[in-house]
Amino acid sequence: MVMGIGVGGLGLPTRITSTNHVIFYLREERMEWGMKNRLAQLVKSDGHCLFLPIDHGYFQGPTRKLEKPGETIRPLLRYCDALFVTRGVLRASIDPENTKPIILRVSGGTSMVGKDLSDEGITTSMEEAIRLNAAAVGISVFVGSEHEKESLLNLSKLVDEGEKYGIPVMAVTAVGKELEKRDARYLSLSSRIAAELGARIVKTYWCENFDKVVNGCPVPVVMAGGPKVDTDLEVFEFVHDGMEKGAIGVNLGRNIWQNDFPVPMIKALRAVIHEKATVKEANEIFEQEKIKKSKVSSE
Ligand code: 5RP
């Protein structure tokens, strides 16, 4: 629950949550200009963000509705605050003259059909991230897996490199194929460890008792959705709940671009994240936008 609004280093409003008592550190005075500037590109002046991940192909191949990432994101781009993407898809499918801040996915080296999803390495150098003008880099950590240690040390090394150049690292608390791991106990453990190792932002899954995750994590938390949920209302409910409990936003993919109405969905979510819309209001926006969309397509 939001307790108050403070004023950050750039004179911008910052969010203070009752859960982790973090004076939203993204605009902290002591932070260097480059780091501060990159974080300000990603997180809007209200302290919230809507990241659109399209990185799933790096281990899943051509994921449903993401077969042609450039086409998938074309209508969605204007409504997101940043894209989470690998360098391959970035170069091949994203217009460098018309895009949003880029969070570059820099871990990988495994696949759905391989032995172990947790056996990731760093796939992309910091020089490449700088060349691609990334606003941040993202890496998965696999706490509790066979490769826990390697993935955590990869994160630490990436943070060392990123801090040298003022590039924030977003840590992704990955669960591999073990989706049942997504509970508050596990996610709070993983998120805290990722923050301790220096991640500037932690991306984790929404779960029941999500306040436990945010409470235990001293850096801002964004929520992923995982596989598409059964109803549209559920998406609004979990995003709204997570925001109430202190998340700063989402890094939400399949529940947006696998929806039959991705633009109405992202617009409704934007209202929850940036305009404090309730679940009911978000659903109304979604339904109205769906009607508009069907009118336009039948004309
Ligand atoms: C995939 C990722 C995704 O960025 C993350 O899981 C968010 O996407 P979704 O909401 O579809 O789960 O890290 O490797």
What does the pLDDT look like over 245-281, one tens digit per residue? 999 999 999 999 999 999 999 999 999 999 999 999 9
How far CA 82 is from CA of 146, 177, 222, 283, in Å, comes to 32, 26, 13, 23
pLDDT, tens digit (0-9, with 9 covering 90-100), for 192-213: 999 999 999 999 999 999 999 9
The CATH number linked to 57 is 3.20.20.70
CA dist., res. 119 & res. 23, Å (int): 35
Report whether pLDDT(44) > 60. yes
276 assigned to active site: no
Residue bearing the bigger pLDDT, 24 or 287: 287
Q: Identify which of 150, 203, 195, 155 has the alpha carbon closest to the alpha carbon of residue 175.
A: 203
Q: Whose CA is nearest to atom 8 of ligand 1?
A: 253
How many angstroms is it from 55 CA to the middle of ligand 1?
A: 7
Q: Is 199 in the pocket of ligand 1 (CB under 6 A)?
A: no
Maximum separation of any 2 CA atoms in the chain, in Å:
57
Distance 206 CA to ligand 1 centre (A): 12
Q: Atom 3 of ligand 1 has which residue's CA nearest to it?
A: 53
> Is the pLDDT assigned to residue 21 strictly greater than 50?
no
| Mutation test residue for ligand 1: of 72, 172, 239, the one with most atoms within 8 Å of CB | 172
Helices (H) and strands (E) in the chain, counts: 12, 12
Q: Which two tokens stand for residue 185?
A: 């106990």
Whole-prediction pTM value? 0.91
The rounded percent of the chain whose pLDDT value lies above 70 is 89
How would you classify the pairing of strands 169-173 and 249-251?
unpaired
How confident is the model at residue 287, as a pLDDT? 97
Q: What is the pLDDT of residue 160?
A: 98
DSSP structural state of residue 23: B
- b/e 187-208 (16+ beta carbons within 10 angstroms → b): bbebbbbbbebbbbbbbbbbbe
The yes-or-no verdict on residue 48 having pLDDT over 80 is yes
Indicate which residue of 203, 212, 245, 267 is catalytic. 203
Q: Give the start-end residues of each E strand in the chain.
A: 2-7, 13-17, 49-53, 82-85, 102-105, 107-108, 121-122, 136-141, 169-173, 201-205, 221-224, 249-251
Q: What share of the chain is helix, strand, coil (3-state, %, to 5)?
A: 45, 15, 40
Per-residue pLDDT of 101-126, as tens digits, reads 999 999 999 999 999 999 999 999 99
Four-point Cα dihedral 89, 91, 95, 96, nearest 10? 130
pLDDT score, position 294: 76
Quick check: is 172 in a domain? yes
In the block, residue with structure tokens 């109430």: 244
Please work out whether the CB of residue 51 comes within 6 Å of at least one atom of ligand 1.
no
**Integer-rounded Cα radius of gyration of the chain:** 18
Task: Look at residue 65 and tell me whether its pLDDT is greater than 90.
Answer: yes
- Alpha-carbon distance of 204 to 207, in angstroms, equals 9
- CA of residue 20 to ligand 1 center, whole Å: 24
| Count of beta carbons in the 10 Å neighbourhood of residue 133 | 12
Tell me the CA–centroid distance for residue 156 and ligand 1, in Å: 21
How far apart are alpha carbons 126 and 132 in whole angstroms?
10
Structure tokens belonging to residue 10 = 């750039």
For residue 43 and ligand 1, the question of a CB distance below 6 A is answered with: no
Ligand 1 pocket member 224 (CB < 6 A): yes
Pocket flag, ligand 1, residue 172 (CB < 6 Å):
yes
* Residue 158 is assigned to a structural domain of this protein: yes
* Residue 147 belongs to some domain of the structure: yes
> Domain containing 253: what range?
49-298
Is residue 159 included in any domain, yes or no?
Answer: yes
Q: Residues 128-157: what's their mean pLDDT?
A: 97
Is the pLDDT assigned to residue 83 strictly greater than 90?
A: yes
Angle between helices 232-244 and 279-298 (to 10 degrees): 140
- Quote the number of domains for the chain: 1
Regarding the beta carbon of 57 and ligand 1, being less than 6 Å apart is answered no
Provide mean pLDDT across the span 134-149: 97
Within a domain: 194: yes
